[in-house]
A and B are shown apart, each in its own frame.
Chain A
Amino acid sequence: MPDTIKRAPVSQQPFKVEKPQDLNTIGGMISIEINEKKVSVPLGTTIYEACKENQIHIPTLCHHPDLCIAGVCRVCVVEVEGMRTLQASCSFPITASIKIKTTSELVRKARRNIIDLLLSEHHGECYACVKNKNCELQTLAQEYGVDKMRYGHISAPIHEVDNSSTSVIRDMNKCILCRRCVRTCIDLQEVGVLEAISRGDKTVIGTFYDKSLQDVICINCGQCINRCPTGALYSNDPSDEIWQAIDDPTKHVVIQTAPSPRAAIGEEFGQPPGKSFTPELNTALKRIGFDRVFDTNFTADLTIHEEGTELLHRLKKALVDKDESVKLPQFTSCSPGWIKFIEHFYPEYLDYLSTAKSPQQMFGAIIKTFYAQEEGIDPKDIVSVSLMPCSAKKFECNRPEMNSSGFKDVDYGLTTRELGKMIREAGINLPELPKTGFDEPFGEASGAGLIFGATGGVMEAALRTVYELVTGREVPFENLRIEVCRGFEGIKEASVKLENVLPDYSFLEGVEVKFMVAHGTANAKQVMELLKAGKLSDVHFIEIMACPGGCLGGGGQPIPTSEEIRKQRAKAIYAEEEGLPIRKSHENPHVKFIYEKFIPEGPCSELSHKLLHTHYTKRGRYII
């Protein structure tokens, strides 16, 4: 098997048209006619884009801004004068002065027929579907005035729902074969679990040997869910169990909330992307009935202590002890999708991972140990919920090794979408709520923990702390903004030089600390291939997040998603962080308190290893 998974079968790169640098040169712009109106567009623009520019909405199903074009659903067809057949506007590049009709009878009939055909095979009971009111097929049917099932309607489901996975559920009865999930899994994430199998009327999206999702190399990132136009893919929702726990007076139900859901949950309530609702969310959670609401950023700060200390240990061993068995670069371990990815695809490199648990799991362990002790609650009566942007967190909290207290560290991983539903169910309109803070004893967290939500955030947080720890000075960046860590470039690379270090760290004097940041497992794969080829020997620390954009683009976040939306969420996170009083993990007084009171030996000590660190499993690519 080749190392790089090839592109998804239907994926096509846009037609390569050599565009002139300067659009004003002759041939740079092409004048065309759309519905008899003359307009001018840059050479190589697709018909779909050209229409969009000119305020004409063309319906699409298989098209997605994050994915290669496929041109399979055919609802975006338009008439191009002189061509025998209609053309898929999503894939048709404009290279000549064409005349386009977007609403001729032929086009209208074709679109309507295609929608009717899709509906005839779509076994979805809209009112009982997770995607009700957020389904692209439903919307299309409504926009195009579908008034009857002209080509019949499938009366009963014919596919078994695959709910084997802790994270992703597949109901192929609702699948319309747009192949967005296949393109997501193969092209965007380069995992390659989902693929079209069989042909003709037997075509289905399936897995290797049609195994259930838990038995294949799915990394649970849920990116496919985020791009499914219907309700064929959704996350494994624990909200019923959580409601039950809340209703049970013998249970002490706590919830920790991660930064990304807070920057996106507004979208579940009709708000435009780009606004955080942290304090309103705290109120909502209290009203729903959670006994305590904690901030995952607190354990993000803790993670920085543990992971940063681990890095310094590794550096010392490598530079001072000349220990050749030390593995560098050290990789971050906060993203459970990334962890499963490396366990499957690069199992021989697990020693490069930081052993620190993710913030979710650290919090889980602390709640059922120190918090339980402090509050005098039996850990067996604590139900620990985490609000995450992530479907893989569900898998992570079910890992058998994640039970430091003897009980599951975290009982339920809840996604942004699922919580949105719970809040609506509770009759609450989130944006209009009053504001509340987080509960003690973990009330405060630093801004460094907050920015974990965006790609590059862990690196930025770690640098702020490690640099200061080693030199005694703040990182030399204006307003603590380490811009090289920010932004959505696939792989970022930079370095900081350590000079005039404190005596304890004299071995680091003059060392140029090199680091990298990658998001999306396709980029992670590129980094791993560099590592394999021995080209990362001078790099010390690498942050990897499985999802495009980092956690804010996670598989549990509101749908739809696009780079534009993810950028807005990132903005919300960075804006929120600059308003916080504490912006460095090591300055978080509650973290200091935890160490002083419960882990006096400090980060990476024996007790901290027992509670806050973990180990990984060599899984390999073939599950037998």
Chain B
Amino acid sequence: MEAKINKTHREGAVLFSPYDAGSSIKKALEVGRENILFEVRESKIKGRGGAGFPTATKWMLVAAAKADKKYIVCNADEGEPGTFKDRVLLTEYPDLVFDGMVVAGYTIGAEIGILYLRGEYIFMLEQLEDYLISMRQNNLLGKNILGKEGFNFDISIRLGSGAYVCGEETALIESLEGHRGEPRNRPPYPVNTGYMGYPTVVNNVETLASISKIITKGADWFKTHGTEKSTGSKLFSVSGDCKKPGVYELPWGTTLNELIKIVDAENTKAIQVGGASGVCIPKSQFDRQLSYEDASTGGSIMIFNESRKMLHVLKNFMDFFVEESCGQCTPCRIGNVKLLECVERIEKGEYTFSYINSMKDLSRTMQVASKCGLGQSSPNPFLSILENFKDEIFRSKENGVSHA
């Protein structure tokens, strides 16, 4: 699989365009903190990890916080099913990512950066460590970076152990502190009480890589890509029923129709946008745009053609959540089990519509009452698949057939 991903045609206007290692750090040190913050804010970049929070706001909060220590954490947990774009960035563009971390560290006043690497990515650990050594040799890390008196910064890499929920930023911090990876209550947010209780910025790999480009090429250039509200371009990890799966850099605003042409997909019935916790979009809505304001995603795009049974697809997702819920809060821990049960009962034809409605009602509770994004979004595929594919799923019952 790896060979295939790496062979996939990837030209891109922003991230996958030429870059001189270290150049964003150099520029950042020249222009100073205020100007970096200004540039990042002007670029209107939002987080690439899924939640889409404005990066500049996050940075400003930590930059303004009064604390003895601050941290920048790069979230490389990449656990959302169907996402593999951070892997490409880390293996082929570590300069963009690490430079972005140094810039962030300089801007917010951190001396330590931590890369939280997905456990399954241990294969790239040595290569990344080697890269960090070379950065230290070139004084891109260490003391008085690039001669900037008093700017000390270094990066360490920590490995996760394979829990999806550890991609959630507060669970990630818990895990870094040596606890069970379980999300915290917010407030307080990590920008206030993060790693070891200090103000912490957690950013996705791609967000930090984009920062390197914004700093070197400017916010105005960045904004020439994408839409008004979703600026820049995005890496999409495309998998499923298509001839050219892989990682693509496309401007925000690309429609699903355009996307399936690019990846050469045929007879497409549905596209799951945003991974397991995203929504499932039917063919009739393929004119929708990939963007924060329309079909939002941290990068995962899964394509399903006419041969796929959507109930089966849904069951897979619900199985995933039942297992990957951290298990601390009631709506998610038990709710997902009930939703999975519901899918199984639909499969067997053992349901009434009032039962289905009570499950939709439960989904709504999970969305608003769960403690973290996992439980808040796990009903998404349940609701969107049952809604968008009701003809396919419930047809069998009406015909008196017991198989969906």
Chain A positions 530-551 with a Cβ under 8 Å from a chain B Cβ = none
Chain B positions 154-196 with a Cβ under 8 Å from a chain A Cβ = 163, 165, 174, 178-180, 182, 184-185, 187-188, 192-193
Chain B residue with Cβ nearest A106: B368
Segment at the interface with A among B257-265, B317-325, B391-399: B317-325
Chain A positions 61-88 with a Cβ under 8 Å from a chain B Cβ = 69-75, 77, 84-86, 88
Chain B positions 301-336 with a Cβ under 8 Å from a chain A Cβ = 321-331, 333-336
The proximity string for B residues 132-167 relative to A, scoring 1 for CB distances below 8 Å and 0 otherwise, is: 000000000000000000000000000000010100
- B323 / chain A contacts, CB cutoff of 8 Å: 199-202
A314 to chain B, nearest CB (A): 41
- A15 / chain B contacts, CB cutoff of 8 Å: 187-188, 192-193
A91 to chain B, nearest CB (A): 4
- From B187, B365, B371, give the contact of A110 (CB < 8 A): B365
- From B184, B325, B329, B365, give the contact of A73 (CB < 8 A): B329
Tell whether, in the assembled complex, residue A74 and residue B369 are in contact, meaning their CB atoms are under 8 Å apart: yes
A203 CA to B329 CA in the complex, in Å?
Answer: 11
Tell whether, in the assembled complex, residue A74 and residue B333 are in contact, meaning their CB atoms are under 8 Å apart: no
Tell whether, in the assembled complex, residue A199 and residue B369 are in contact, meaning their CB atoms are under 8 Å apart: no
A203 CA to B335 CA in the complex, in Å?
Answer: 14
Given known contacts A10-B182, A120-B334, A150-B358, A199 and B376 CB-to-CB distance under 8 angstroms: no
A120 CA to B362 CA in the complex, in Å?
Answer: 13
The proximity string for A residues 87-107 relative to B, scoring 1 for CB distances below 8 Å and 0 otherwise, is: 010011101000000000010
- CB of B5 closer than 8 Å to a CB of A: no
B280 to chain A, nearest CB (A): 21
- B367 / chain A contacts, CB cutoff of 8 Å: 85
- A10 / chain B contacts, CB cutoff of 8 Å: 182, 328
A109 CA to B365 CA in the complex, in Å?
Answer: 7
Tell whether, in the assembled complex, residue A203 and residue B327 are in contact, meaning their CB atoms are under 8 Å apart: yes
- CB of A505 closer than 8 Å to a CB of B: no
Tell whether, in the assembled complex, residue A109 and residue B364 are in contact, meaning their CB atoms are under 8 Å apart: yes
Tell whether, in the assembled complex, residue B185 and residue A120 are in contact, meaning their CB atoms are under 8 Å apart: no
B53 to chain A, nearest CB (A): 12
Chain A positions 138-169 with a Cβ under 8 Å from a chain B Cβ = 150-151
Given known contacts A9-B174, A86-B369, A201-B337, A114 and B331 CB-to-CB distance under 8 angstroms: yes
Give the B interface residue count (CB, 8 A): 41
Chain A residue with Cβ nearest B335: A117
A112 to chain B, nearest CB (A): 9
- A117 / chain B contacts, CB cutoff of 8 Å: 330-331, 334-335, 338, 362
- A597 / chain B contacts, CB cutoff of 8 Å: none
Chain A positions 389-426 with a Cβ under 8 Å from a chain B Cβ = none
- A200 / chain B contacts, CB cutoff of 8 Å: 321-327, 333, 336
Tell whether, in the assembled complex, residue B185 and residue A121 are in contact, meaning their CB atoms are under 8 Å apart: no
- CB of B370 closer than 8 Å to a CB of A: yes
Tell whether, in the assembled complex, residue A12 and residue B328 are in contact, meaning their CB atoms are under 8 Å apart: no
Given known contacts A9-B180, A15-B187, A200-B327, A86 and B368 CB-to-CB distance under 8 angstroms: yes
A371 CA to B272 CA in the complex, in Å?
Answer: 81
- CB of A498 closer than 8 Å to a CB of B: no
- CB of B361 closer than 8 Å to a CB of A: yes
- A16 / chain B contacts, CB cutoff of 8 Å: 188, 193
A71 CA to B358 CA in the complex, in Å?
Answer: 25
Chain B positions 335-386 with a Cβ under 8 Å from a chain A Cβ = 335-338, 358, 361-362, 364-365, 367-371, 376
- B322 / chain A contacts, CB cutoff of 8 Å: 200-201
A150 CA to B362 CA in the complex, in Å?
Answer: 11
- CB of A482 closer than 8 Å to a CB of B: no
- B335 / chain A contacts, CB cutoff of 8 Å: 113, 117
Given known contacts A9-B179, A117-B331, A93 and B187 CB-to-CB distance under 8 angstroms: yes
- CB of A133 closer than 8 Å to a CB of B: no
- CB of A118 closer than 8 Å to a CB of B: yes
- B178 / chain A contacts, CB cutoff of 8 Å: 6
A510 CA to B404 CA in the complex, in Å?
Answer: 92
B198 to chain A, nearest CB (A): 12
B92 to chain A, nearest CB (A): 33
A42 to chain B, nearest CB (A): 17
A-B contact sample (11 more), CB < 8 A, given A12-B184, A201-B327: A6-B178, A15-B192, A16-B193, A73-B329, A73-B330, A86-B369, A110-B368, A113-B369, A114-B331, A196-B180, A199-B165
**Top 3 closest A-B pairs, CB basis?**
A203-B327, A91-B185, A117-B334
Could you name 30 residue pairs across A and B whose Cβ atoms are closer than 8 Å? A9-B182, A12-B184, A12-B185, A15-B187, A15-B188, A70-B328, A71-B185, A71-B371, A74-B370, A77-B369, A85-B368, A85-B369, A86-B368, A86-B369, A88-B371, A92-B185, A95-B187, A109-B364, A113-B365, A114-B365, A114-B369, A117-B331, A117-B338, A117-B362, A151-B334, A199-B325, A200-B321, A200-B336, A201-B327, A203-B333
Residues of A that sit less than 8 Å from B by CB: 6, 9-10, 12, 15-16, 69-75, 77, 84-86, 88, 91-93, 95, 106, 109-110, 113-114, 117-118, 120-121, 150-151, 176-177, 179, 196, 198-203
